[in-house]
Homo-oligomer: A and B are copies of this chain.
């Protein structure tokens, strides 16, 4: 709790119950939720929470680089508390999103810079397919 407040404060953002709740929800889930999902999760415990606040908070967190935004082939953005370099495996069947650590990142970025002169600052690497579970169950 204290740690979350510090994180938020150190980005020059005011610490409010809503912001703590949103940060905490993202911190405690692996599901990479959308704004709507977060709102639905939180509104029971925070009856006055509005969807606009969720959007505004996510935008503020994103600008402060406390979180990252994922653009999957989906109608809404998803959010990830993990801003370290990693990629995402997205199951087209059950819609689960898995983190995948990618050790060769710096090599790839360097290769791109050497070959093209393009300086890589941030990546979004999405792998779409079927997770083990869905393959096992023969789902489509």
Contacts and interface: CB of A to CB of B under 8 A. Distances in A.
Interface string A115-127: 0111111111111
Nearest to A136: B117
This chain: how many copies in the complex? 2
- For the complex, would chain A's binding face be called helix, strand, loop or mixed by DSSP majority? strand
A109 B132 CA distance: 14
29 contacts: A71-B72, A89-B116, A89-B118, A89-B120, A92-B121, A100-B112, A100-B116, A104-B108, A116-B132, A117-B132, A118-B127, A118-B129, A118-B130, A118-B131, A119-B129, A119-B130, A120-B127, A120-B128, A120-B129, A121-B128, A121-B129, A121-B130, A122-B128, A122-B129, A123-B125, A123-B127, A124-B126, A124-B128, A125-B126
Interface in A78-117: 89, 91-92, 98, 100, 104, 108-109, 112, 116-117
A11 interface: no
Interface residues of A, number: 31
